Structure 1
């Protein structure tokens, strides 16, 4: 290769090497410049016209172990000029064990990443994922330009898209999607929905993840995740874009698949006390069929929304559900009624009391043959027992329950396990 370069555009050998790299794609850190058969130092000046020769090395120099570790520290600390000086001495950019590029990528040292790539550093499977998880958008872009695999995984398990989505790095997610990253896209949407990363959810939905064609029947899992995590904005977005198949008030019949997702999401939001999500779901489709369905296939909660929130003590949610028409006289999968389990806190007591005031039956038996009052007696819950009696609960017919009830009501000691007496709320 012959090239004529105006000497006034250069100051020293280093600037010549950069010019050759940028103009002719000659590897920057493999260039050796000779003049009159002598190797020229990078700082050697080029003030007068003349001929120089260029040699491109095919091998790296042998570097002692101590210097290899020193180089890694320079990379980690982001010391750009010193890293460049070492690379100019033909140091292997992959020593030790390919760590320099991984380290620079995770730390977000963009200029060092570019220097290492120019020096021939290999891109490991972890490199793109660690940069994505750390949110370094420009580093991710540089790695993709260097032909990093957008589907590469960290430790063989976590894709770059999942790492970025899990941490809410929307800029990285956008960059990866533009590079056609698709590995673990549905799982990425799950985590983004659960953690409330609204912009990430929007990007993934726009990219087609979560659609029926991609996920088949599991098209309500994101709504369930958002409801469980109390992510009202994400839940609203998922409803707006219509990810739930058959969604709409007219479709929420007992046989509708959408009813299952709706009921499960409402139970999760209610049981965890996420009042804003509960209101959102009720505004979207408040039907009796949905309000009184027990937890179905995809939720760990066995009861209706009212039962779940009565058990966990979220009084305001109980009121909202009752106002929306939830029945206080339905049992859960185990046959238990709202407030049937002895309350463990004042909040749970108030929630159960609210359900009773709305007309919850006090004399219904569960599938074990026990009433709410029997549970209160067995647990020696004085306040709960008095509340149930005042609400019209029938006295147990068995003598042992009558004697136990009298003992509980006459007791002057606090309820077991340090529980406060609920008499002041009766």
Structure 2
């Protein structure tokens, strides 16, 4: 029978419901339905093909024809008694398949045949959600005209409007609103259509929702507003729209974070600039005591730091301290953010301001071995001999942490080799011996004044 077509097989008495040995379990009827070969489908049915036989995924010929938009085949199979509401192993019905793929005429045929319009996938998605989320407007219209529930939600609590808004389907959003969709309905996680559209930067959808009266003050469980999610994701035009509709520029979420803070944390320099232009305060701290500048410094967002430092209140914010006493400069040194350190130093950050444990930016960088930052700081005049409360210096700290390159820079720039400190009150040479690092011992030994050996 090699080389026979399904049509030839059917005419010659072959079992035409046999599953294909290749790949899936598609039978002849299903293969013909997928390809849209109506005449072959007719012959197969006439010769006894089982119309509702399923493949390994639980799909029938009707399911497959609906998925691929084969309208004539769908109509014929329905006429011949195919199960119109058959559910695949993964929960898909022919209507769900056709709606998801935007096959308008297939959807029409199924609806006219009386399929169940509000069947849902295991995740709760219905035909209306699937069509709305993909922007299949005519399918959305057909479904609503046939009784699809406007505000039917999936297992996450998302309505068709929320799904359409999240995916930027402006026409679908407009149509659903005109038909009375609940504009401020929230999902189980607190997402409204406005919040979803704002997070994903869908300017036209946000504009439409605002014009239709969406509540700009709706919040996620963490207290974030639409302005927060737009700012965090860098959606400049959405941020502008929300500000124009009166969202307070310094609104805070549950952590005390402003839109400026979350934009800074995400490195959204253009949004940071806009928010500052619109009056956002750069000196506000969140509940943990962080400013936007310190958070940006920690994460290495140089452009954000520079934008903050260009604000009218730059000199107030540049040396603000965390509860730990650390400044933006100290935090940048701790995380090795060289470009940020350059920006802060150029703007006049205090090189000697220590945290609550006495660590200056220089000592912090020395401990962690950031030789490029050390060189910059000493070039700009940082005190190389400043001491911790324990007496330790940047040099001693670098020795204890075996930072050879840092030790060399400090010695070359006047670090006092006699200063003792830390738990044994040892000088750097003794500490070097106990570090077990011979190169370090040799480097310091060469700098020890002859008087110490007399």
User: How does the TM-score come out when normalised to structure 2?
Assistant: 0.65
CA distance in 2, matches of 1:235, 1:135: 24
* Matching of residue 353 in structure 1 with residue 342 in structure 2: yes
Q: Indicate which of 114, 131, 144 corresponds to 2:108.
A: 114
Q: State the Cα distance separating 1:271 from its structure 2 match.
A: 2.9
Q: State the Cα distance separating 1:404 from its structure 2 match.
A: 3.6
- Which residue of structure 2 lines up, in the alignment, with residue 396 of structure 1? 386
- Which residue of structure 2 lines up, in the alignment, with residue 237 of structure 1? 241
Report matched runs for 1:169-248 at 5 Å: 169-182=169-182, 183-184=185-186, 186-212=191-217, 221-244=225-248
* Matching of residue 72 in structure 1 with residue 60 in structure 2: no
CA distance in 2, matches of 1:203, 1:210: 12
- Which residue of structure 2 lines up, in the alignment, with residue 310 of structure 1? 297
Structure 1 unmatched runs, 5+: 1-61, 413-426
* Matching of residue 294 in structure 1 with residue 285 in structure 2: yes
Q: Note the alpha carbon deviations across 1:309-343, whole angstroms, 9 max, x for none.
A: 22233333322221213221101354321131355
Q: State the Cα distance separating 1:64 from its structure 2 match.
A: 4.1
Contact 1:357 1:391 in 2 (8 A): no
Classify 1:69/1:344 alpha carbon distance in 2 versus 1 (closer, same or farther; 3 Å).
Answer: farther
Moved over 4 A (4+): 214-220, 257-263, 342-346, 405-408
- Which residue of structure 2 lines up, in the alignment, with residue 32 of structure 1? none
* Matching of residue 337 in structure 1 with residue 319 in structure 2: no
Contact 1:211 1:219 in 2 (8 A): no
CA distance in 1, matches of 2:270, 2:143: 41
Q: Note the alpha carbon deviations across 1:37-76, whole angstroms, 9 max, x for none.
A: xxxxxxxxxxxxxxxxxxxxxxxxx954359711211111
RMSD: 3.1
User: How does the TM-score come out when normalised to structure 1?
Assistant: 0.69
CA distance in 2, matches of 1:262, 1:231: 21
- Which residue of structure 2 lines up, in the alignment, with residue 367 of structure 1? 356
Q: Indicate which of 287, 295, 320 corresponds to 2:307.
A: 320
Q: State the Cα distance separating 1:195 from its structure 2 match.
A: 1.2
Report matched runs for 1:10-21 at 5 Å: none
CA distance in 2, matches of 1:392, 1:266: 33
CA distance in 2, matches of 1:156, 1:315: 38
Contact 2:255 2:286 in 1 (8 A): no
Contact 1:313 1:350 in 2 (8 A): yes
The structure with higher relative contact order (CA 8 Å, sep 6+) is 1
Q: Indicate which of 238, 261, 268 corresponds to 1:267.
A: 261
Classify 1:344/1:157 alpha carbon distance in 2 versus 1 (closer, same or farther; 3 Å).
Answer: same
Classify 1:77/1:128 alpha carbon distance in 2 versus 1 (closer, same or farther; 3 Å).
Answer: same
SS at match of 1:129: helix
Classify 1:263/1:284 alpha carbon distance in 2 versus 1 (closer, same or farther; 3 Å).
Answer: farther
CA distance in 2, matches of 1:241, 1:192: 15
SS at match of 1:285: coil
CA distance in 2, matches of 1:351, 1:276: 17
Q: Note the alpha carbon deviations across 1:360-411, whole angstroms, 9 max, x for none.
A: 1122222343222221111011121232233343333224643344754344
Classify 1:368/1:194 alpha carbon distance in 2 versus 1 (closer, same or farther; 3 Å).
Answer: farther
Q: State the Cα distance separating 1:197 from its structure 2 match.
A: 0.7
Contact 2:329 2:361 in 1 (8 A): yes
Classify 1:333/1:153 alpha carbon distance in 2 versus 1 (closer, same or farther; 3 Å).
Answer: farther
